[in-house]
Amino acid sequence: MKLKTIFDQFKHKSSFQEAVPIDSGHINSTYLVYTSDSSSPDYILQKINAAVFKNIPALIENKILVTTFLRLKAEEQESIIQLIPSISGKYYYVDSQNDYWNLMVFIPDSGVYLMAKSPKIAEEAGKLFGRFFYLLNDFDADKLSVTIPHFHNLNHRLSQFEDALTQANRERLVLAKDAIEFIITYKDEMLLLQELKSSGKLPLRATHNDTKLSNALFDTKGNGLSVIDLDTLMPGLVHYDFGDSVRTICSSAEEDEADLTQVSFLPENFKAFASGFLGASKSILNETEISHLVLGAKYMVFIMGLRFLTDYLNNDIYYKTNYADHNLVRTKNQFALLKNMKKHEAEMQEIIKDILD
Ligand code: GN1
Ligand code: MG
């Protein structure tokens, strides 16, 4: 089906001019739809990956619940994603190939960063994700459907990894040898977060679960505008959102940089990000949550490396890849970042303490 035809299945009053793919996501297919009338907005049209998201109506319902809630609480200058209903009245459209689409208003003069080039960008992203997290404090997380069960549960990801090990081909097993050993060495350290969760010491909250830098929208001056990509809204821990941001905002390279000498942890970005995030949200966090934020950062780098590695061993069935070893490159990159981050742990704790004092 043509993109124009799909676009016109939604209730907007605009005319389609052109659709340009946005390639940065690993899962869905996303297009920026330009409209021909200057008085009407442009849009984001997105095909949701049904292999990854098994219950897309529930995913859309999560987005509607949260955006409606946020719109009531947000201050005027805050931009909250706005979904457009389809002609059927539902907030998605199913095409003749059984693909699910949704449409959102594009926020004008906005863009994303793949890397935080300065602490200012890191701080702005921190404020944005921290505020988003804070505003959801009194949203009842039980209202959210679990669209990907055990998404950030390390026990689950480790068991998927173990399954992948048993059926991976020899060549990939050999190439991944060091990465496999890395998992074995560090998994117990990371599993502490799941133990705290299971023992009830960490509250389950409504979390975004994909707070990488490129899911923060900025204006042309580098000010934070809006949190985007609400696909993985689910009950979760603060550590998932804090950690996934640190993973991307405090790295000197993109997550698939193959030259590992380019990959290092940036403490000055951590300081800026943490001060933005905690400035907005510290009032709602308990002691145990706060004392494990650094573990949360390590955990998210670790689990992402583990998921890339598992997909590599499964011959790349989950993430979009651009070349044969792309997932292995991503894995090694994440583990290089984690190794470097571990050298800064004491400093990270100090930074958090200073922010909270
Ligand atoms: C995926 O599709 P995208 O880029 O928004 C993944 C996240 C990972 C991310 C790594 C549903 O997100 O968990 O953090 O890639 N989303 C899903 O960049 O698996
Ligand atoms: Mg996403």
Residue 254 lies inside a defined structural domain of this protein: yes
Q: Using a 6 Å cutoff on CB, does residue 52 contact ligand 1?
A: yes
Residue 102 lies inside a defined structural domain of this protein: yes
Residue 126 lies inside a defined structural domain of this protein: yes
Per-position b or e across 85-102, b if 16+ CB within 10 A of its CB: bbeeeebbbbeeeebbbb
Output DSSP code: residue 260: G
- What pLDDT, on the 0 to 100 scale, is given for residue 81? 96
Residue recorded with tokens 């994440």 = 334
Residue whose Cα lies nearest atom 18 of ligand 1: it is: 26
Contacts of 221 (CB under 8 A, 6+ apart): none
Residue 315 lies inside a defined structural domain of this protein: yes
Pocket test of ligand 1: the residue of 26, 154, 212, 333 to mutate, having most ligand atoms within 8 Å of its CB, is: 26
Does residue 65 share a domain with residue 176? no
Pick from 110, 187, 117: which is nearest to 156 by CA? 187
Does residue 130 share a domain with residue 15? no
Residue 308 Cα to ligand 1 midpoint, Å, equals 10
Residue 13 lies inside a defined structural domain of this protein: yes
Residue 210 Cα to ligand 1 midpoint, Å, equals 6
Residue 101 lies inside a defined structural domain of this protein: yes
CATH of the domain at 17: 3.30.200.20
**SS3 letters across 46-114:** EEECCCCCCCHHHHHHHHHHHHHHHHHHCCCCCCCCCEECECCCCCCEECCCCCEEEEEECCCCEECCC
CATH of the domain at 140: 3.90.1200.10
Judged by its nearest atom, the ligand closest to the C-alpha of residue 301 is 1
Q: Using a 6 Å cutoff on CB, does residue 229 contact ligand 1?
A: yes
In one-letter notation, the amino acid at residue 90 is K
**Domain boundary residue among 108, 140, 160?**
108
Residue 287 Cα to ligand 1 midpoint, Å, equals 29
Does residue 124 share a domain with residue 74? no
State the Cα–Cα distance between residues 131 and 276, nearest whole angstrom.
9
State the Cα–Cα distance between residues 59 and 230, nearest whole angstrom.
9
- What pLDDT, on the 0 to 100 scale, is given for residue 323? 98
Does residue 148 share a domain with residue 101? no
Residue 37: strand, helix, or coil: coil
Does residue 151 share a domain with residue 48? no
Q: Residue 184: CA atoms inside 13 Å, Cβ hemisphere, count?
A: 8
Does residue 235 share a domain with residue 176? yes
**Domain boundary residue among 57, 79, 108?**
108
Residue 300 Cα to ligand 2 midpoint, Å, equals 14
| Contact indicator for 225, 110 with CB cutoff of 8 Å | yes
- What pLDDT, on the 0 to 100 scale, is given for residue 336? 99
Pick from 246, 263, 239, 238: which is nearest to 334 by CA? 263
Residue 13: domain span:
3-108
pLDDT tens sequence for the chain (357 residues): 799 999 999 999 999 999 999 988 999 999 999 999 989 999 999 999 999 999 999 999 999 999 999 999 998 778 999 999 999 999 999 999 999 999 999 999 999 999 999 999 999 999 999 999 999 999 999 999 999 999 999 999 999 999 999 999 999 999 999 999 999 999 999 999 999 999 999 999 999 999 999 999 999 999 999 999 999 999 999 999 999 999 999 999 999 999 999 999 999 999 999 999 999 999 999 999 999 999 999 999 999 999 999 999 999 999 999 999 999 999 999 999 999 999 999 999 999 999 999
Does residue 234 share a domain with residue 96? no
| Contact indicator for 96, 259 with CB cutoff of 8 Å | no
Does residue 82 share a domain with residue 141? no
Does residue 131 share a domain with residue 41? no
Does residue 62 share a domain with residue 188? no
Tokens encoding 86: 């389809």
Residue 114 lies inside a defined structural domain of this protein: no
Does residue 128 share a domain with residue 183? yes
| Contact indicator for 127, 280 with CB cutoff of 8 Å | yes
State the Cα–Cα distance between residues 187 and 273, nearest whole angstrom.
26
Residue 186 Cα to ligand 2 midpoint, Å, equals 26
Domain count, the chain: 2
Pairing outcome for strands 216-219 and 224-227: antiparallel
**Environment class of residue 57 by beta-carbon count within 10 Å: exposed (0-12), middle (13-18) or buried (19+)?**
middle
Does residue 135 share a domain with residue 50? no
For residue 148, the ligand 1 atom closest to its alpha carbon is 11
Largest CA distance in the chain: 58
**Domain boundary residue among 85, 108, 131?**
108
- What pLDDT, on the 0 to 100 scale, is given for residue 335? 99
Residue 113 lies inside a defined structural domain of this protein: no
